Amino acid sequence: MKHIVVDGLKLEYRDFPAQDAALPTLLLLHEGLGCVAMWRDFPEKLAKATGCRVIVWSRAGYGGSEPYAEVREWRYMHHEGEKALPALLAALNIERPVLVGHSDGGSIALIFAGAFPERPLGVAVMAPHEFVEAETLAGISAAKTTWTATDWPNKLARYHANAPRVFSDWNDTWLSPPFRDWNIEAYLPRITCPVLAIQGYDDEYATMRQIDVIAEQVAGTELLKLENCGHSPQRDQEAAVLAALAAFVRRLSGSCR
C-alpha cells in the first residue's frame, strides 16, 4: 500500500504498473462502503487484462485513508467529483485518465466527466446512480436492518479504520429527506468522452433505468446488461466485466492488442 497527501489528508492507494507505457492510466473509484482492499484482486486482474497502469484508492475516511474533520454533507459525491478527484489527479500527475467507477464511484466519475469534459479519456461505470429510486431506498433500508442484526459491523471493520462512521455516512445520507431529490442527470449531456455503462439485472439497489438514462443523454454510450448479476458486476460477472473493460480500453487507445 502507498500513501499520498491530498488537500492535507493522507490517502491510501495501490499502483499496478503498465505493461505498455503508451496505454492510458485506469483510475478505480469505489462504492459507498468500499476501499482499496474491498476491490480484492480485481485491479491486478484488470491491469493484466488491459496492459494499462491501474490505480485504486480509498476516498477520505474509507479504508486506511484519513477522514475529513467535518461531518459529510448530503452532496458529498459532488464534492468528490468536482474537488477531491481533481486534487488527487493533480497529486498523481495524471492528466487524462480512464475512470472506472462502481456505484457511488460511478456517480462520482460521471460528475467529474460532466464538470471537466476535456479531462477523462473515457469513463466506465458499474451500477452507477444518477437519481434516487424507490428500489435504492428499499435496499439501503434493508441494509440498515442487516447492519444492526448481524455481524456485518465486524466484517466491515476488517477493511475500514472507522467502519461505523463509514456505514452511517452512507446509510444516513441516502435515507435522509434532502437526499430524495439528489440527481446528477444535468452532468450527463456535458460528457464528451466515450462511456461504458454496466448494470446487473438483479441489482438490489437500482433498476436498468440508471444506465438507460446515460445512453439517452450521452451520445455513443455502450451498455452492458448482465444476467445473474447484482450490484457488484466486477464480482458477480468478473470475466464479462474484464473482457468489456479490455475491449473498451482498446477502442480508446487505438491498440491492436
CA–CA separation, 215 vs 222, rounded Å?
A: 7
pLDDT one-digit tens code per residue, 11-48: 999 999 999 999 999 999 999 999 999 999 999 999 99
- Single out the residue of 43, 85, 92 nearest to residue 60, CA to CA: 85
pLDDT one-digit tens code per residue, 86-113: 999 999 999 999 999 999 999 999 999 9
Neighbours of 2 (CB within 10 A): 11
Residue-level pLDDT at 193: 97
Residue-level pLDDT at 244: 98
CA–CA separation, 136 vs 149, rounded Å?
A: 20
Per-residue burial over 63-77, b = 16 or more CB atoms within 10 Å of its CB, e = otherwise? bbbbbbeeebebebb
pLDDT one-digit tens code per residue, 214-223: 999 999 999 9
Which one is the CATH code of 2-249: 3.10.450.40, 2.40.100.10, 2.30.29.30, 3.40.50.1820?
A: 3.40.50.1820
Q: What is the pTM of this model?
A: 0.97
Which grid coordinates belong to 28? 478505480
Distances in Å between the alpha carbon of 145 and those of 18, 142, 160, 172?
Answer: 42, 5, 20, 13
